[in-house]
Structure 1
Amino acid sequence: MKAIVIQTYGGPEGLAVVDLLAPVAAAGQVVVATEAVGVGGVDTVIRSGALAAYGFKEGHIPGSEVAGTVTAVGDGVDASWIGRRVWAFTGTGGGYVEQALAPVEEIVPLPVNLSAVDAVTLGSSGVVAHFGLRHAHFAPGETVLVRGAAGSIGIMAVQLAARGGAAAVAVTTSSAERGEHLRRLGATHVLDRSGDGGEPAPDGYDVIIDVAAGKDMPSFFDRLNPNGRMVAVGAVAGQPPADFGMKIMAAFQKSMSFATFSAHTVTGADRGAVRSEQFAAASRGEVETVVHEVLPLDAAVLAHQKMDAGEVFGRIVLTP
């Protein structure tokens, strides 16, 4: 089968197409013939080599979510899964392939009228947005800022906050065109990447969902209202400055708080339940999946070039 591996860490050109033996499901696993593979921001971070210290080695297959049809199951897995269309989480890698392995507890059946492309656009990002807002104790009537709203997580956070009754949903993004699209999805205020803009915006926010992190994170923490909560759900712009903790302590008298969130800290059963609900909502047209572009699997280099250039609004999907 075809697979994409990281031959050398660094730029997108370090990705290569290789031929591998088809996988065999071990106990508790399924094999999924992939119809769609989601390209995530973490894939580009891993490819860059920034996470090499965490055990990612050259030869790693990137990608963590696929959708397709179960073709085989391992010992202990109900054979009735064979032939069913599913979304699957492959772990910290192993997704950029024609046939993927996944634990049976990490697959979710797809509604008949939900495409594989839409499934990988929503599957991981929707869960992160949902639980990120919960982690921030978001409540109806509060003001929300989504920083880095052009990616699939930010897009879902905007929609969920708006549907959840936010008094205002401000977003940061890089262009007026993206801003108008985000308004259609529920944003009430569109700001530039610095958090400013040509329109009036809330003076402060009760909740900030930050997908970007990076050197500018402290300036956004300053925008929290008293008792405001900032939750970092990603770090596509890199790590915050080393003195960010001093900024948090300086806000002691305002009872503002900062937290991080990773979907791995939520039980698989809870993640699966939310995914099922969101897939059903998307199939009914209640949640919009935003697909930037669909590319063939062997165009992974181009996909990562677009990601690195900041050109992507929504999700790039690879199709074997």
Structure 2
Amino acid sequence: MKAVAIRSFGGPEGLAVIDLPSPAPAAGQALIAVEAIGVGGVDALIRRGALAAYGFKEGHIPGGEVAGTVTAAGDGVDPAWIGRRVWAFTGTGGYAEQAVAPAGELVPLPPGLSAVDAVTLGSAGVVAHFGLAHARFAAGESVLVRGAAGSLGILTVQLAARGGAAAVAVTTSSPERGERLRRLGATHVLDRSGQGAPGAYDVIVDVVAGPDLPSFLARLNPNGRLVAVGAVGGQPPADLGTALMAAFQRSLTFATFSAATVPPPARQAVRCEHFAAAARGDLRAVVHEVLPLDQAALAHRMMDAGEVFGRIVLR
């Protein structure tokens, strides 16, 4: 089979198409003939070598989520999965024509939902849903989504609006992107620094983090909560705790959130709900572009250039 591996850490040119034997599912795994692969920010971090301390080495095949058809089942896996269209969390190895995934990480796709839409919603929707829950978001509260133009931010905007937010503000890089986010449920558009609309917010869901994170703590109402669900802008400054303590009398909360802390059955239930909503037309999967697998390097160049609105999908 064809796969895309990280030949060398660094820029997108370090990605290479290689030939590999088809994988065989181990006990508890299913083999999937891959139709669509979600390209995510974590893939770019792995490619750059930023996560080498976590065991990612050169030669790694990225790709954490795929959609396609189950073609084989390992020992202990219900053979009824064979022939079913599924979304799957592979964790690794998704940039390939075939991939294996734990049976517990398979979600059947409803009729009418494409594989492309499934990998646009699957991981991002779970983080958006539980990220808002981690912030204790309630109907009637105001929400700011920082870094709203990616698939995670777009789904957070939609879920906050559907959840009855009094206002959904977004930060993004251009008026054109802001207008597209308005059509998805945003009520106020700010620039990347958070300027462009007055007021403060009860909840901030932050995809960016980075050195400017403390300035967004100042945009919280008393008892406000900021939850970092990503760090595409890098690590926050070392004195973040000092900024929180300086606002002691406002009772602010800062937290991080990873979907890895959510039990798998809860994650899968939310994915089923989101897939059904998308098939009905109640939730939008925003796809920037669909590219063939051998153009993975182009997909990464587009991400690095900040050109992407929604998700890039490899087919």
TM-score between the two structures when normalised by the length of structure 2: 0.99
Measure, in 2, the Cα distance between the counterparts of 1:227 and 1:129. Answer: 21
Letter in 2 for 1:285: G
* Per-residue deviation, 1:242: 1.2
Deviation string 1:254-308 (CA, Å, 9 cap, x unpaired) is: 1100000000000000000000000000000000000000000000000000000
Measure, in 2, the Cα distance between the counterparts of 1:161 and 1:152. Answer: 14
Helix, strand or coil at the partner of 1:38: strand
Structure 1 position 23 matched with structure 2 position 23: yes
Aligned twin of 1:317: 313
Letter in 1 for 2:168: V
Measure, in 2, the Cα distance between the counterparts of 1:2 and 1:237. Answer: 32
* Per-residue deviation, 1:246: 1.0
Measure, in 1, the Cα distance between the counterparts of 2:128 and 2:229. Answer: 8
Structure 1 position 76 matched with structure 2 position 72: no
* Per-residue deviation, 1:180: 0.6
Structure 1 position 173 matched with structure 2 position 172: yes
Measure, in 1, the Cα distance between the counterparts of 2:212 and 2:13. Answer: 29
Helix, strand or coil at the partner of 1:169: strand
Aligned twin of 2:4: 4
Helix, strand or coil at the partner of 2:205: strand
Please report the RMSD computed on the Cα atoms of aligned residues, expressed in angstroms: 0.6
Aligned twin of 1:196: 195
Letter in 2 for 1:264: A
Helix, strand or coil at the partner of 1:127: helix
Helix, strand or coil at the partner of 1:166: coil
List 4+ stretches of structure 1 deviating above 2 A: none
Deviation string 1:138-190 (CA, Å, 9 cap, x unpaired) is: 00000000000000000000000000000000000011111111000000000
Structure 1 position 32 matched with structure 2 position 25: no
* Per-residue deviation, 1:53: 1.1
- The correspondence for 1:235, drawn from 231, 235, 245, is 231
Deviation string 1:13-32 (CA, Å, 9 cap, x unpaired) is: 00000000100000000001
- The correspondence for 1:252, drawn from 231, 248, 251, is 248
Aligned twin of 1:47: 47
* Per-residue deviation, 1:251: 1.6
Measure, in 2, the Cα distance between the counterparts of 1:75 and 1:148. Answer: 43
Structure 1 position 218 matched with structure 2 position 214: yes
Helix, strand or coil at the partner of 1:298: helix
Measure, in 2, the Cα distance between the counterparts of 1:98 and 1:251. Answer: 52
Measure, in 1, the Cα distance between the counterparts of 2:104 and 2:198. Answer: 42
Letter in 1 for 2:14: G
Helix, strand or coil at the partner of 1:240: coil
Aligned twin of 1:182: 181
* Per-residue deviation, 1:239: 0.7
Letter in 1 for 2:122: G
Measure, in 1, the Cα distance between the counterparts of 2:106 and 2:244. Answer: 39
Measure, in 2, the Cα distance between the counterparts of 1:50 and 1:41. Answer: 12
Q: How does 1:6-155 map to 2 (within 5 A)?
A: 6-91=6-91, 93-155=92-154
Structure 1 position 288 matched with structure 2 position 280: no
Helix, strand or coil at the partner of 1:289: coil
Unpaired runs of at least 5, structure 1: none
Unpaired runs of at least 5, structure 2: none
Measure, in 1, the Cα distance between the counterparts of 2:111 and 2:21. Answer: 31
Aligned twin of 1:208: 204
Deviation string 1:121-153 (CA, Å, 9 cap, x unpaired) is: 000000000000000000000000000000000
Measure, in 2, the Cα distance between the counterparts of 1:47 and 1:32. Answer: 24
Deviation string 1:35-86 (CA, Å, 9 cap, x unpaired) is: 0000001100110011111111001111100000000000000101000000
Helix, strand or coil at the partner of 2:230: coil
Helix, strand or coil at the partner of 1:105: helix
* Per-residue deviation, 1:245: 1.4
* Per-residue deviation, 1:233: 0.2
Helix, strand or coil at the partner of 1:182: helix
TM-score between the two structures when normalised by the length of structure 1: 0.98
Deviation string 1:93-122 (CA, Å, 9 cap, x unpaired) is: 211010011000001000110000000000
* Per-residue deviation, 1:202: 4.5
Helix, strand or coil at the partner of 1:229: strand
Measure, in 1, the Cα distance between the counterparts of 2:256 and 2:71. Answer: 37
Helix, strand or coil at the partner of 2:153: helix
Letter in 2 for 1:90: T
Question: How many aligned residue pairs are there?
Answer: 315
